[in-house]
Amino acid sequence: MKNRILLGVLAVCALLGEGCVTAEKKPMKCLLLADGSSDFSTVLESCGAQITHMKPKDAILTDLSSYDAYCILGSNVVIDPRLRERLEAECARGKKCFTEALGSWSGIYSAPPVDTTRRRLVVVSEGDSAIPGLSFGDLLDDGSNRMVRPYYNITGMKILLAYREHIIAHRHWNANRDEIMKGAVPGLWTVGENLMMSSFEFHNYNRARYAPRESWRRLIVFIAKWITGNEPASLPEPLVQYGTDADLTNDAIFEKSRQNAIEHGIKWLERYLVDEGRGGIREGLRHAINPDGVQSTADSIRTDCSGEAAGAFRFYSMLKKNSHARDIAQNLSDFVFGPMQVKGGPFDGMLRWTDTAWQVCYQDDAARAMLPALYNCLYLGDKSNFPAVCKALDFLVKTTAKDGCRVARTDMPHLNENGLRSLAEAEHGLASAHYNAYYHAALLLAYLVGGNQTYLDVARRGLETIMSLYPETKREQSETEEQCRLILPLALLYQATGEEAHRTMLYRVTDDLMTHRHPSGGIAEWDTGYKASCSRESRGECSLLTENGDPVADLLYSTNWLPVGFAVAYHVTGDKKFQTLWRDVATFCLKSQIHSNDPKTDGSWCRAFDMELGEAYGCPHDVGWAVLCSESGWTDAEILMGLMLPDILARMKKR
C-alpha cells in the first residue's frame, strides 16, 4: 500500500514539475581494469561516476553484475578467458564497455603491437558519430605509440579515427573518405551503442605529449563522456610548458626572461655532457616518446654539437664569470681539436663527423664546430685554437671546387690523394647554403683573424656562386633554410670586403626572409615550387613543410641560425634594422623554450614549433630528427650563443 502511495506522489510530481519530492539519481558505477593510475584514469575520476579500480588479474572472480560500465586500459593487455567471458556477457546485456589496444575482444582479433611513429591518426567520424570539436580530416599525432592492427573488421564497426602512413599535411588532411581509408588501419571505432574500442594506447596521453594538445583534449573528453555519461570536471595540466606569457615588449621583462632562458638552457646542455665535456656532448633527445612519456636519448657524440656547445659555455663563462663553464668549454674544445681531428697524412686537419662516422666529413658541420673557436679569436681575443682551426680549413680548401663550393661530404675510404686532388680540380661543387654557407662563414672569420687571402677568395667565390643562383640554390630542407643560413656568412663577407654588392646580397636575403616572418617572431617554413630535396617527403629525412603557408618554424634547420646571424649583421652594419630583427627572433625563442619539471627536457627547444598553436607540433615523418627532437648543438647551443652574442659584442667594443 505504501509503495502505491509513493508511486502516486511521484506521478503527481512529474505532472506538476515542482514542489515535490524527487528520486535521487544514483551515480553510474564503472569498473576500471588497469594495472595502475594514468592520465585517463584521472580524467574518469573527475566525471562524477563511481570508479572502482582493479587490476585485471584481481577481477577474475569478482562479481561484475553491479557495474554499469567497464573500461579496460593498459599496454598489450590480454584478458584472462575466465574474466573475458563474463565481461563480454555483461556487454551483451547492453552495458557500456571500452577497451584500449586489446589484442582480442568481441570478435576482433589483432596483430601484435607495432610502433606508430610513421603513422598519423585521421578523424573520419562525421554526422551522427562526429567527435565534438574535431572535423573530418583533422590529424592527431601520438609520438612513438603502440598500436594493434585488427586482422579484419566486423559487422557494425563504425570507424571514428583511422591510421594512415606518410601523410603530407600539417594539421588537416584535405582528402575524401575513399582516399583516407585506402590502406587505413582502424584507430578508434564503435560497435553498436555500447562498445567502443581503440587500437592504440592513450591512457598516458598527457605524459607522452600527444599533439595538438587541444585536439587530444577534445578526444579524451569525448571518450570519457561516452563511458560515464558526463564530461570530466578537469583534465591534467600539460607537463611541458612553452616559453612565457610575460610581456616581452617590456625591456625589463624581456631581459629577465632572456637571462632565465640562458640559465635553463645551459643547465640542459650540462646534462648531456660526457665527462664534463672531455668526451664531448651527446646529441640530445630523439623525437621518440613512448606511450608512458619516456623520451629516448640521442647518444651519438657529434663534433659539431661539441664545438657549438663549447661556444655556449664559453660565452656563458665570460658573461657570468663562471669558471666551471669555462673549464667545460675548454674540455669540449680540446675534444674537438683532439681525438676528433685527423693528424697527419692526406686528410690532415679533417674534422670527423661523429664518434661512429669516424672517417666522414661534412664541411658545414665541421665549420660549425670551428665557429665558436673563431668567435673566441675575433670577439674574445683568445687565439689558442686558431692553428687547429686553420688546419681544418686548409683540408677543406684543398678539397673545394673552383666555384668555391664543396661536395656535400667526403668519406676517407673512398678517396686517395688523386681523389682529393680531383675535388679541387672540379668546376663545380654543390651550390647549397645547407652544405656550404657556414663553411664560408668559417673561412671569413679566419680571414678576419689571420688575414689569409686564400680563405677570403674561396669564401667569396662560393658565396657569389650561391647568390648567382639565388633563390634557386640547391635546397635541402626548404627555401627558408637557405635564407636563414645565408645571413651570417653574407654579413661576414660584407665585413671582410666592404663592398656594396655584398651588402646588397645581405639585405636582399634578409628582406626575402621577412616575407615569411610570423607575428610571434619566428619564421615560417617556405619552399617556392617545393624544390628542396626533403620537401614534401615522408620516407627519409623530411622537411617539416607540407604546404606553403603552414605556421611551422623549424628550430633545427632554419630559425635557430637567426639569433647569431642577426646579432653579427647588426655588429657589422650598425643598422638597427638587424637589432630589431634579433630582438624579434630572440623573443620567439623565449616563447618556444620548454619549461618542465623533467630535467631531461627543461630548458631545451624542439625542432618543430607551431606558431599559432604555441606548442611543439609538425609533420612527424623524419627518420632521425623529427618534431620533438632537441639537438644539443644545432638547436640549443646555437640559440644560446645567439641570445648571448650581443652582450659579447658589446663588451668587445668596450675593450
pLDDT digits (tens, 9 = 90+) for 120-151: 999 999 998 999 999 999 999 999 999 999 99
Residue 380's pLDDT is 95
Longest dimension (CA), the chain: 112
Return d(Cα 598, Cα 304) in angstroms, integer: 26
Q: Say if residue 120 is in the same domain as residue 258.
A: no
Q: Cell 606518410: give the residue.
A: 166
Tell me, yes or no, whether 6 lies in a domain.
Answer: no
1: in domain: no
CATH number at residue 218: 3.40.50.880
How far apart (Å, rounded) are the C-alpha atoms in residues 33 and 461?
Answer: 68
pLDDT the model gives residue 107: 87
For the cut 50, the answer to whether the pLDDT of residue 10 exceeds it is no
Q: Say which DSSP state 278 is in.
A: T
Same structural domain for residues 487 and 449?
yes
Domain count, the chain: 2
Write out pLDDT tens, residues 489-537.
999 999 999 999 999 999 999 999 999 999 999 999 999 999 999 999 9
Q: Is residue 443 part of a domain?
A: yes
For residue 179, CA distances in Å to 106, 152, 170 come to 28, 19, 17
pLDDT bucket at 24, cuts 50 / 70 / 90: low
Q: What is the rounded distance in angstroms from the CA atom of residue 20 to the CA atom of residue 251?
A: 64
Same domain, 520 and 625: yes
Residue 595 resides in a domain: yes
Is the pLDDT reported for residue 9 higher than 50? Answer: no
CA distance 82 to 102: 16
Angle at 177 between CA 176 and CA 183, to 5 degrees: 115
Domain shared by 208 and 273, yes or no: no
In three-state secondary structure terms, 273 is strand
Sign of the C-alpha dihedral computed for residues 52, 55, 56 and 61 taken in this order: negative
CB 403 within 8 A of CB 343: no
- Whether 191 and 281 map to the same domain: the answer is no
What is the full DSSP assignment across 514-557? HTTB-TTS-B----GGG-STTTT--SSS--S-SSTT--EEETTT
Q: What is the pLDDT of residue 273?
A: 98
Do 195 and 283 fall into the same domain? no
Q: Could you tell me if 119 and 252 lie in one domain?
A: no
High-pLDDT (> 90) share of the chain, %? 90
- pLDDT of 644 reads 98
pLDDT mean over 333-355: 97
Determine, yes or no, domain membership for 94. yes
pLDDT tens sequence across 394-435: 999 999 999 999 999 999 999 998 999 999 999 999 999 999
The rounded distance, in Å, linking the Cα atoms of 301 and 275 is 12
| Domain identity same for 186 and 287 | no
pLDDT per residue as tens digits for the range 267-315? 999 999 999 999 999 999 999 999 999 999 999 999 999 999 999 999 9
The C-alpha atoms of residue 290 and residue 296 are separated, in whole angstroms, by 8
Whether 338 maps to a domain, the answer reads yes
Q: Is residue 10 part of a domain?
A: no
Helices 363-375 and 303-320, interaxial angle, to 10°?
A: 20
pLDDT tens digits, one per residue of 39-82? 999 999 999 999 999 999 999 999 999 999 999 998 767 899 99
Q: Let me know if residue 3 belongs to a domain.
A: no
Among residues 208, 228, 248, the one where a domain terminates is 228
- Same domain for 526 and 596, yes or no, is yes
Higher-confidence position of 128 and 329: 329
pLDDT in tens, 538-590: 889 999 999 999 999 999 999 999 999 999 999 999 999 999 999 999 999 99
Full domain range(s) for residue 184 = 25-228
CB atoms within 10 A of CB 149: 14
Model confidence at 153, pLDDT cuts 50, 70, 90, reads: confident
Based on the domain organization, do 167 and 249 belong to the same domain? no
Instruction: Note whether 336 and 472 are same-domain residues.
Output: yes
Domain boundary among 166, 196, 228: 228
Whole-number average pLDDT of the chain: 94
pLDDT at residue 26, as a whole number: 82
Provide mean pLDDT across the span 221-231. Answer: 97
Pairing of strands 29-33, 50-54: parallel
